[in-house]
Amino acid sequence: MSVELARRVAAAVHAALDLPISPEQAQVRPSRAAGVDYQSNVAMSLARATGRDARDIAADLVARLDAADLVEPPTVTGPGFVNLVLTPGCLATSAAALLADPRLGVPPVEHPRRIAIDYSSPNVAKEMHVGHLRSTVLGDAISRMLRFAGHEVVPHNHIGDWGTPFGMLIEHLADEGLGDTPAPLQDLNAFYQEARKRFDAEPDFAARARRRVVLLQGGHQETLTLWRRLVDDSARHFEQVYALLGIALTPADVHGESFYNPFLADLVKQLSTKRLVTVSGGAICAFPEGFTNRDGDPQAMVVRKRGGGYGYAATDLATARYWIEERGADDLLYVVGAPQSQHFAMVFAVLRAAGWLTAGHHAEHIAFGSVLGEDGRTIRTRAGTSVKLVDLLVEAIDHAGRIAEHREGLTDAQRAEVARAVGIGAVKYADLSHDRRKDYAFAWDRMLAMDGNTAVYLQYANCRVHSLLRRAGSPLAASTPIHPTHPRERALLLTLLQFPAAFTAAVRDHAPHRLCTHLHATAAAFSAFYAACPVLSADTRSTRSSRLALSALTSRVLTLGLSLLGIEAPERI
Ligand code: ARG
């Protein structure tokens, strides 16, 4: 609704001042606090730009506004606010349209793009830790939102399955005779640490590990078999975590660093032909424009190391080229922690200079902050090691189990299902509801609070609607008229009508927290409505059915919204 109103206000500005502005610039916002439905601040901005009086501009604008089919005659208040109140007719038609629309008012994008999105991307032979939680959960939610918006989304899991650490890992595996045991490695972290310890303490082992790297890069059969073994065991571990989290990444989405090996030699050749690299200290480096180091000298990006090996940056250049040239991606998105910002900025600069990334493409590092412990420092176990993701998720389900424990009329299996949906939902939502660019602190009581901006608050509101609908008996017709009478009923409907705008803003900025904020506002508006307006015992039959339809719509918004975040919305908890 606000989108259409914004369009009309923009047109009025054009007519009144001969100034073309976008609907965005019309600044139409919901404004229940001002006692109206929507308000536009555009007159104040235009006053600053034109030097005219804001109230004059607002008056002109109102005179030119062609929106009698949507709003009552607008008023101007304060320094030049334009106040808009929807007509009962408009409210009823908008509600009917929302009720009949499976997409709840969100139009599919006009120009769908093919988007390659890199997320999760953990490292082989190391268990996923909480740091990988953010990439996985954010990447999954962003993918779901982009897909719902109408884009073609191709995820790829850029697992770290190549590089010098594999020398020591393979050598240790061979020494332990673990290469031919059928049982998978149980504790990947411990295995990694043992190999590391030997590498640091035993010069002979370290020398063998270095030779192993050369064998691996040279395609030595036995070495490759051992390497495969490590990769497969790790992949199985990742899949367990994804299954527990309900993440839609599959083995087919894995394109690890090793996948791009065959492309690296040609990459360097092309960069040399394009004169984008120089030899510096024996290494082949790119010096993308605009990047300097601490001394103010051009910052090097190593493409090929002195010994002939390729590094992280080379792989990322080849990765981007692969997704653009072989897979026809329009957009490249990377959901990776903020410390890698400089790396991606440099990669994008080289890709642009090489002409691989053109003006028609869009590449973006979707950066995020860290997960902190309750003490505000990087989250650690009591022993001081990094927290394993699996342990954290099991603990979440355990905490949530206490919520389900006392529910009556549930079987044990149903209780376990509820605990899982609530526990995993809590962890994911805690991550998604914070602005991803900032750090956030992990706190069980806060993320499982029944009355905060939490998943369980939304899940619970949704369950209340389901219980209401069950008690109401007969199913609702999709054409049930909604005609709000009580102010809280009106407020709830206006919030529901805001869903498309909130969703659109969240996809545009790759900002799931904006969707969370809106869903929380929706659940809160429902609670306020439910406390003030009797539904099943409403005065008249038409009020009863109108309120039931409004409740059903609330549940649809919450269920769709949660599913776009990758969170379950059970009918009972
Ligand atoms: N494996 C890396 C890490 O754990 C993240 C990889 C991100 N993706 C990329 N294309 N560089 O830090």
Q: What is the pLDDT of residues 215-257, one digit of tens each?
A: 998 899 999 999 999 999 899 889 999 999 999 899 999 999 9
Among the residue ranges 134-148, 338-352, 378-392, the one predicted with the least confidence is 378-392
In this structure, are residues 119 and 364 in contact, taking their beta carbons and an 8 Å threshold? no
Q: Whose CA is nearest to atom 3 of ligand 1?
A: 122
Q: Whose CA is nearest to atom 6 of ligand 1?
A: 121
Among the residue ranges 187-191, 211-215, 357-361, the one predicted with the least confidence is 187-191
pLDDT of residue 484: 92
User: Taking residues 353-365, what's their average pLDDT?
Assistant: 98
From the CA of 487, how far away is ligand 1's center (Å)?
50
From the CA of 64, how far away is ligand 1's center (Å)?
54
From the CA of 122, how far away is ligand 1's center (Å)?
7
Helix axes 165-175, 221-245, angle to 10 degrees: 100
Q: Where are the domains of the chain?
A: 2-86, 114-160+258-371, 165-246
From the CA of 316, how far away is ligand 1's center (Å)?
9
Q: Which residues of 70-98 are buried (b: 16+ CB within 10 A; e: fewer)?
A: bbbebebeeebbbbbbbeeebbbebbbeb
User: Taking residues 266-276, what's their average pLDDT?
Assistant: 97
* Ligand 1 atom at minimum distance from 132 CA: 4
Q: Which residues of 448-481 are buried (b: 16+ CB within 10 A; e: fewer)?
A: beeeebbbbbbbbbbbbbbebbeebeeeeeeebe
Which among 59-68, 183-192, 436-445 has the top mean pLDDT?
59-68
Q: Is the pLDDT of residue 419 over 80?
A: yes
Beta bridge partners of 38: 30, 84
**Which tops the pLDDT comparison, 189 or 148?**
148
Q: What CATH class has 2-86? A: alpha beta
Confidence of residue 311 (pLDDT cuts 50, 70, 90): confident
Q: Is 158 in the pocket of ligand 1 (CB under 6 A)?
A: yes
Closest Cα partner for 485 from 536, 539, 555?
Answer: 539
In this structure, are residues 563 and 569 in contact, taking their beta carbons and an 8 Å threshold? yes
From the CA of 444, how far away is ligand 1's center (Å)?
28
Q: Is 545 in the pocket of ligand 1 (CB under 6 A)?
A: no
Phi–psi pair at 516, nearest 5 degrees: -60, -45
Q: Is 315 in the pocket of ligand 1 (CB under 6 A)?
A: no
- Residues 6 or more apart whose CB falls under 8 angstroms from that of 165 comprise 125, 192
Domain 114-160+258-371: which CATH number of 3.40.109.10, 3.40.50.300, 3.40.50.620, 2.40.50.140: 3.40.50.620
From the CA of 367, how far away is ligand 1's center (Å)?
12
* CA separation for the pair 182, 184 (Å, rounded): 6
pTM of the model: 0.94
Q: State which of 249, 259, 336, 366 you would mutate to test the pocket of ligand 1, scoring each by most atoms of that ligand within 8 A of its C-beta.
A: 336
Phi–psi pair at 251, nearest 5 degrees: -55, -30
- Residues 6 or more apart whose CB falls under 8 angstroms from that of 23 comprise 3, 6, 7, 9, 10
Q: Is 118 in the pocket of ligand 1 (CB under 6 A)?
A: yes
From the CA of 60, how far away is ligand 1's center (Å)?
55
Over residues 495-553, the pLDDT tens digits come to 999 999 999 999 999 999 999 999 999 999 999 999 999 999 999 999 999 999 999 99
Confidence of residue 374 (pLDDT cuts 50, 70, 90): confident
User: Taking residues 178-195, what's their average pLDDT?
Assistant: 78
Q: Is 121 in the pocket of ligand 1 (CB under 6 A)?
A: yes
From the CA of 253, how far away is ligand 1's center (Å)?
15
Pairing relationship of beta strands 114-118 and 152-156 according to DSSP bridges: parallel
pLDDT of residue 206: 95
Q: Is 123 in the pocket of ligand 1 (CB under 6 A)?
A: yes
Closest Cα partner for 105 from 567, 439, 561, 449?
Answer: 561
Token pair belonging to 273 = 């032909």
Q: Which residues of 224-250 are buried (b: 16+ CB within 10 A; e: fewer)?
A: eebbebbbebbbebbeebbebbbbebe
* CA separation for the pair 55, 566 (Å, rounded): 46
Which among 46-60, 144-158, 288-302 has the top mean pLDDT?
144-158
pLDDT of residue 170: 95
